Structure 1
Amino acid sequence: MDLTGMRSLLTPDGWALLESLPPYDEKLAIPLGERLRSEGHDAATVAAALTQSRLRARAHDKLGPFADAMLFTPDGLEQATRLAVAAHHARRYVGAGVQRVADLGCGLGSDAMAFAGLDRAVLAIDADELTAAFATVNLRHWADVEVRCHDVLTLDLESMLEPRDGVWLDPARRTSSKGGGSRRTFDPEAFSPPYSFVLDVARRFPATGAKLAPGIAHRLLPDDAEAQWVSVHGDVVECAVWFGPLAREGVRRSALVLDARGSAHEVLADDQADRAPVGAVGTFLHEPDGAVIRAGLVGEVAAQLGSRVFDPTIAYLTSDQPVVSPLVHSYAVEEVLPFHLKALRALLRDRGVGTLTIKKRGSAVDPVQLRRQLRLTGDGEATIALTRVGGRPSVLLLRPL
């Protein structure tokens, strides 16, 4: 990323060039760049403007039409909170009566936008100069938002905040690589700021929330906080940890499922782990949403749906009656077979299956290699699940509902 070119977008001429661009079209980007340079525009500014145009198009999935008036960095966009999820974050602070939120490590400002949109005063801080400058642009429409460039690890938070203020942290989960880019890290202490800093802030300021990676180990989560795994359209995007008045009484783990229509569905549990009953494969198979699985709430959903598992180590549910729930994806079970390559190949050949969806849970079979070995031909479609039934490798022939 050319920092000089990116900074040039903060000048009146650079901003005017960016705003003059048509909607991004990858096929037209090269000739458009050539035309702009031939008209006398600075080459670095042109490149930066086209990069912003491309990032704005990508950002629509997370931020909708707000993206058209924002500035982005590639890493910042990747970590930016989806606006629908940020709205749920902001409602926590509103519900707890918090009037001012310090967004420590604000990135490009998507969470700060949600806080300000619900009339919270916001102090947004980021250590990276360009990111803080872009956040200032992105938050320009809200008068009660202040953006500062500072390393949050060196701040005297007690002199800046009142005890009743809220704090939000979204630690960066990427580290610099030798090639000059960045790579994702899964070590909580390698986050920026590190996880230990998050816990320290929560001890000092009760109304603290933090966005963590969805794969964080349950053993690392505090006993006195609520951890909520969030999925959007089936994609698990975060584990948010809520402390003090932001956590709900009696709730240790929860899953928030946002569907394609924007509706929200929750599963809640205390610290008692409920296990689903075990039984035979029924007429229907139900695949819990990833947020439910990450939160360890498969047993809760099984109880809600009157379903069971056919293997206590596998997060598939089954029932004899159909169920309708946004918390699961459901299939009719057409056949249950021991896994055997030749038998499966013959079955799919007899059905004329050329397009096969392979689901896998608790199986050592490589789907890519299996697809080659099956040598599929035909016009038909099918879905199978590679799994274990009663501890034995099995294949379930499914029909999506």
Structure 2
Amino acid sequence: MAYEFGLDDVAYLASAEGTDALNVTAGLPLTDASLLKDLPALRARYAPREAALVETIRARRRAVGKLDSPDALLLSDTALQQATPSAVAAHRAADIAARHPGGVVHDVTCSIGAELLSLSTAAGLGGVIGSDLDAVRLAMAAHNLRGRPGVQLARADALAPCSRADVVVADPARRSARGRTFRLDELDPPLLELLSVYAGRPMVVKCAPGLDYRMLRDRFSIEVAVQVTSLDGGVREACLWTEAAGLPDRRASVLRTDADGVVRADEYTSTEPDDIDEPGVDEWIVDPDGAVVRAGLVRNYARRHGLRQLDPQIAYLTGAAVPPGARGFRIIDRTAVSERALRSALAAHDCGSLEILVRGLDVDPDRLRRKLKLRGSTPLSLVMTRIGRTGVAFVCEPGVRH
């Protein structure tokens, strides 16, 4: 169980004495195997703060690659799990600033301030406010935002508006007593209540990628624009924009970090044309980014890149080339999906290791791989899907990202 910080822990960690203690603690392994050895030494020197020191350093290490400059942050494991990656937050902050130049933005569920850090550096905003009910996380946010002028913090309930900000940002907690949830009424605070409280004001609400945003329109008649964002191939969130005149109904933001560490963004929207050639099979199979799939923009993506679908109901695309940043599989054989047919085709290509991708079929890749009993030496990929009502498998060269 994660350590529960108190206000006295935060005050200590933010002090000069706490900073020195964190530097010493950071020099220890702090692995699961080493904790029995590391803790007594820390307890002898820093009791009763040893647990807070360990939790902070371990959380900072887990934050590498997710949050910018994690070694300067106060955070807990739970807060880190809920925090938006810095690259995603920066992209959204730039969106908000472009749409509301000179506006004041209020993050009403600011937690440790990860979103505020990006908003505070977005060019063109007139001010940034953060509030949260959790006094401990608010104290962490105050430390994390030190030196950032123009950021105001307040302890407040997200469902009790306390500012006249031009834009409201919210990130309802996505966990219930049963674990991660996609139910609208189990978010904290509840999504429908948030949207009701701030009705008539531009609002940006971060939600889990699996949220059924269509239900908001179909069942509750709430009009929102939806932005699904991915980072380096992983879908991170679905973001709901209210008062969204001028925004596309659906948008996919595909963020990728290049070799120099710079985050590049490609945007796909429902306003783009989606007329493509009839389904077929070409040289390459392309697996579109998950944000494109979640946003329902597969055909728009295909049109932009000169691709077509294998089947009108399946998200796999095919074409003569792989779009930049996308993952593609060059087809070398095609076979039925029975174990016997697969085993024969893979043996013919000397397959020794196999990546299996499945869409549209009820297949467990790990279980199937064990059953195939591969004995060759060549690494291959297997793309399994259906065309019409018929299952089909494509033996491919190992997937490559172009």
TM-score by length of 2: 0.88
1:127 is aligned to 2:140: no
Contact 2:256 2:265 in 1 (8 A): yes
Question: After TM superposition, which residue ranges in structure 1, 4 or more long, deviate above 6 angstroms?
Answer: none
Report Cα offsets for 1:213-255 as digits up to 9, x if no partner: 11111413456432110000110001112223xx461511010
Q: Give the gaps of 5 or more residues in structure 2.
A: none
Report Cα offsets for 1:79-103 as digits up to 9, x if no partner: 1011111111211232121432111
Report Cα offsets for 1:125-153 as digits up to 9, x if no partner: 11222222211211122132222222222
- Provide the C-alpha distance between the structure 2 equivalents of 1:279 and 1:363, rounded to a whole number of angstroms: 18
1:17 is aligned to 2:21: yes
> CA 1:248 to 1:24, structure 2 compared with 1: closer, same or farther past 3 Å?
farther
CA-based RMSD = 2.3
Report Cα offsets for 1:262-311 as digits up to 9, x if no partner: 111010114x9946543221111111100000000001011112221121
Measure how far apart 1:175 and its partner are: 2.1
Measure how far apart 1:36 and its partner are: 2.1
Counting only pairs closer than 5 Å after superposition, residues 62-101 of structure 1 correspond to structure 2 as 62-64=66-68, 66-95=69-98, 96-101=100-105
- Provide the C-alpha distance between the structure 2 equivalents of 1:61 and 1:197, rounded to a whole number of angstroms: 34
1:200 is aligned to 2:204: no
Contact 1:9 1:15 in 2 (8 A): no
- Provide the C-alpha distance between the structure 2 equivalents of 1:132 and 1:176, rounded to a whole number of angstroms: 23
Name the aligned partner's letter for residue 335 of structure 2: L
Contact 2:109 2:130 in 1 (8 A): yes
- Provide the C-alpha distance between the structure 2 equivalents of 1:221 and 1:345, rounded to a whole number of angstroms: 46
Contact 1:18 1:49 in 2 (8 A): yes
- Provide the C-alpha distance between the structure 1 equivalents of 2:28 and 2:187, rounded to a whole number of angstroms: 33
Name the aligned partner's letter for residue 359 of structure 2: R
1:257 is aligned to 2:254: yes
Measure how far apart 1:174 and its partner are: 1.2
Measure how far apart 1:258 and its partner are: 0.6
Specify the alignment match of 1:278 in structure 2.
278
- Provide the C-alpha distance between the structure 1 equivalents of 2:5 and 2:311, rounded to a whole number of angstroms: 57
Contact 1:5 1:47 in 2 (8 A): no
Measure how far apart 1:32 and its partner are: 3.0
- Provide the C-alpha distance between the structure 2 equivalents of 1:310 and 1:204, rounded to a whole number of angstroms: 43
Specify the alignment match of 1:352 in structure 2.
350
Measure how far apart 1:15 and its partner are: 4.2
> CA 1:176 to 1:374, structure 2 compared with 1: closer, same or farther past 3 Å?
same
Specify the alignment match of 1:161 in structure 2.
163
1:190 is aligned to 2:200: no
- Provide the C-alpha distance between the structure 2 equivalents of 1:6 and 1:254, rounded to a whole number of angstroms: 41
Counting only pairs closer than 5 Å after superposition, residues 208-357 of structure 1 correspond to structure 2 as 208-222=203-217, 224-244=223-243, 247=244, 249=246, 251-261=248-258, 262-270=263-271, 274=274, 276-319=276-319, 321-326=320-325, 328-357=326-355
Residue 106 of structure 2: which of 102, 118, 126 is its match? 102
Residue 389 of structure 1: which of 382, 387, 390 is its match? 387
Partner of 1:263, secondary structure, is: strand
> CA 1:345 to 1:7, structure 2 compared with 1: closer, same or farther past 3 Å?
farther
Contact 1:14 1:45 in 2 (8 A): no
Q: Give the gaps of 5 or more residues in structure 1.
A: 178-182
- Provide the C-alpha distance between the structure 2 equivalents of 1:202 and 1:253, rounded to a whole number of angstroms: 22
Contact 2:106 2:129 in 1 (8 A): yes
- Provide the C-alpha distance between the structure 2 equivalents of 1:350 and 1:6, rounded to a whole number of angstroms: 65
Counting only pairs closer than 5 Å after superposition, residues 42-81 of structure 1 correspond to structure 2 as 42=47, 44-64=48-68, 66-81=69-84
Give the number of aligned pairs: 382
- Provide the C-alpha distance between the structure 1 equivalents of 2:95 and 2:299, rounded to a whole number of angstroms: 26
Partner of 1:62, secondary structure, is: coil
Name the aligned partner's letter for residue 255 of structure 2: L
Name the aligned partner's letter for residue 258 of structure 1: L
Specify the alignment match of 2:46 in structure 1.
41
Counting only pairs closer than 5 Å after superposition, residues 363-374 of structure 1 correspond to structure 2 as 363-374=361-372
1:136 is aligned to 2:155: no
